[in-house]
């Protein structure tokens, strides 16, 4: 089956990036948001990103116009009824995602349509259990910014059909131009199971006063050849997202390395969300 109609649930940083990647790949894309105001913000987010791509010479004006012409943003989930593939990219909150998958199972008319989640930590089997089509539910974890990062983690549950995994892998590699790694259906998958303890360790080091944010980041960039330091990366990911993933992993494994540092929780509670708010470790 040729996939041409894509739905994306959520138009935040990740959802808008995924939608842009799909639209730039020639697909018909509908983004579903929670309100007209959120829909307008999502549309503006994609338009701004596409405009920057043109300004930097990474995208022609003609291709930019074509991508935006293939993108619609709606404020009702019912707008996704005719989609062949839906990628959920809502907030990293398990009850929210479960409710969305229950709704998507009802809304998306084609029983063969694939329902994918961009979750970074929640086991796919739990989301699949909220639907009547678990064989067509899969994890498809993009990385921020989705327009630049090449990796997609593909995570099947025990009930995901191999035909679904094959279709997702082909779609991600051949249509979207991504590189796929396959992960087991366990909290955190591959990347975040390794990354989150690293980020939390950097936060604990900063919290304890063992080094400044600048020195922690410079140490990992210059000493370990990382493209950016852990605190800069945490700001980019979003402190709220980092906290949500850490809480999910700690609840699953109860390992100290996944326990959120008190400082991270205080920062999120005070509205310091990194790139999302403009306030993070370098403005603490």
**Catalytic residue list:** 120, 141, 153, 192
**How many other CB atoms are there within 10 angstroms of residue 264's CB atom?**
23
**How many other CB atoms are there within 10 angstroms of residue 1's CB atom?**
10
Using alpha carbons, list the distances in angstroms from residue 283 to 37, 229, 231, 241, 278: 29, 16, 12, 18, 8
Quote the strand ranges of the chain, DSSP E.
5-9, 28-32, 71-74, 85-88, 114-117, 137-142, 151-156, 179-182
Q: Bridge-partner residues for 72, per DSSP? A: 30
Cα angle 144, 149, 152; round to 5:
90
Phi (first) and psi of residue 117, to 5 degrees = -120, 140
Measured between alpha carbons, how far is 247 from 23 in angstroms, rounded to an integer? Answer: 33
Sheet of 85-88: strand order equals: 71-74, 28-32, 5-9, 85-88, 114-117, 137-142, 151-156, 179-182
């Amino acid at each position: 089956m040729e996939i041409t109609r894509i739905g994306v649930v959520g138009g935040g940083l990740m959802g808008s990036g995924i939608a842009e990647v799909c639209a730039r790949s020639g697909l018909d894309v509908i983004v579903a948001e929670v309100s007209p105001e959120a829909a307008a913000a999502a549309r503006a987010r994609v338009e701004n990103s596409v405009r920057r791509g043109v300004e930097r010479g990474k995208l022609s004006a003609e291709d930019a116009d074509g991508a935006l012409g293939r993108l619609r943003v709606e404020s009702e989930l019912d707008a996704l009824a005719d989609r062949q593939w839906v990628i959920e990219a809502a907030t990293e909150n398990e009850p929210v995602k479960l409710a969305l998958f229950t709704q998507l199972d009802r809304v998306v008319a084609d029983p063969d349509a694939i329902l994918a989640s961009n979750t970074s930590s929640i086991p796919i089997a739990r989301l699949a259990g909220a639907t009547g089509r678990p064989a067509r539910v899969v994890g498809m974890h993009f990385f921020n910014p989705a327009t630049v990062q090449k990796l997609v983690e593909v995570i099947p549950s025990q009930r995901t059909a191999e035909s679904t995994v094959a279709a997702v892998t082909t779609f991600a590699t051949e249509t979207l131009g991504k590189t796929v790694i396959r992960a087991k259906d366990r909290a955190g998958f591959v990347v975040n199971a390794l990354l989150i303890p690293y980020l939390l360790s950097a936060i604990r080091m900063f919290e304890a006063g063992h080094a400044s944010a600048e020195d922690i980041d410079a140490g990992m960039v210059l000493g370990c050849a990382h493209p950016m330091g852990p605190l800069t990366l945490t700001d980019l990911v979003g402190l709220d997202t980092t906290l949500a993933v850490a809480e999910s992993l700690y609840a699953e494994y109860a390992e100290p390395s996944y326990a959120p540092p008190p400082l991270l929780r205080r920062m999120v509670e005070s509205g310091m969300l990194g790139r999302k708010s403009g306030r993070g470790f370098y403005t603490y």
